[in-house]
Structure 1
Amino acid sequence: MLGDLSRVEKIYLRTGYTDMRKQLDGLVDIIQYSFQLDPYSNSLFLFCGKRADRIKAVHYEGDGFCLFYKRYENGRLQWPRTGEEARQISHQQLRWLLEGLNPEQPKAVRSWVPPKPEPPGNSL
């Protein structure tokens, strides 16, 4: 059963390029042997190919692995291409990435709601 991905403790992004022909076992091998990370941990592991219009994610749910795949019909991901490392990112950075934004935002704009105007006749 697909669980709630907002409950994952850590999110790792593989920088550089990943051969998107790799299936679940090949991606788990990268997690385990290339990056010495535990694929059975409560983590989400993200991979992207050269075209940056497809993303694969691997997550272990306690009874088996889930492999998520998304292909963007219009647009590309701003995937970090420097080297090949497992970079930990936040849930907010994941949202930015999936929206086509750079996950390395120097400063995020906070949402703001203007104060409600006082009703007429309450002025001093």
Structure 2
Amino acid sequence: MIPSGVKVFLASQPIDFRKGMDSLLALVRDSGSDPFNGSLYVFRAKRADRVRIVWWDGSGVCLYAKRLEKASFCWPRIGPARVHLNHAQLLALLDGLDWKRVRPMVVKAPEFVG
């Protein structure tokens, strides 16, 4: 289960999916981030039909993998940028939806009429 308050970072560059957990942690470290800070780091395969997520849950390193059978994941343009997602956007991404359309709702406090 993915914690709701965790930071999520999406790597826009595809990776070699033969890489294991330790290699993914090394990619996070080499990009200047701390792989043990509790954030989720999301990587994609070249065809964008597979993703892997690596994160430290406080007691060990977790690896999540998913493959879409008849579609591809919505992904930002390939480049050096790292994209930050919120929890709802991550869930949309993992369902194969366009996560860029998921926006936080603005809720205004009710006004009392008197």
TM-score bracket, normalised by the shorter chain, equals 0.7 to 0.9
Deviations along 1:66-97, one digit per CA (max 9) or x if unpaired, are 11111112211111133033211111111221
| Matching residue within 47, 50, 62 for 1:51 | 47
Question: How many residue pairs end up in the alignment?
Answer: 105
Residue aligning to 1:21:
18
Alignment of 1:32 onto 2:33: no
In the alignment, the residues of structure 1 paired with residue 20 and residue 51 of structure 2 have an alpha-carbon distance, to the nearest angstrom, of 12
In the alignment, the residues of structure 1 paired with residue 90 and residue 8 of structure 2 have an alpha-carbon distance, to the nearest angstrom, of 8
In the alignment, the residues of structure 2 paired with residue 64 and residue 96 of structure 1 have an alpha-carbon distance, to the nearest angstrom, of 26
Residue aligning to 1:80:
76
TM-score after normalising by structure 1: 0.74
Larger of the two Rg values belongs to structure: 1
In the alignment, the residues of structure 2 paired with residue 39 and residue 86 of structure 1 have an alpha-carbon distance, to the nearest angstrom, of 14
In the alignment, the residues of structure 1 paired with residue 56 and residue 25 of structure 2 have an alpha-carbon distance, to the nearest angstrom, of 10
- CA 8–24 in structure 1, closer or farther in 2 if over 3 Å, else same: farther
- Displacement after TM superposition at 1:56 (Å): 0.3
TM-score after normalising by structure 2: 0.80
Structure 1 portions without partners, runs of 5+: 111-124
Q: Aligned to 1:28, what secondary structure does the other structure show?
A: helix
> Could you tell me the percent identity over the aligned residues?
35
RMSD: 2.0
In the alignment, the residues of structure 1 paired with residue 5 and residue 22 of structure 2 have an alpha-carbon distance, to the nearest angstrom, of 20
Structure 2 portions without partners, runs of 5+: 106-114
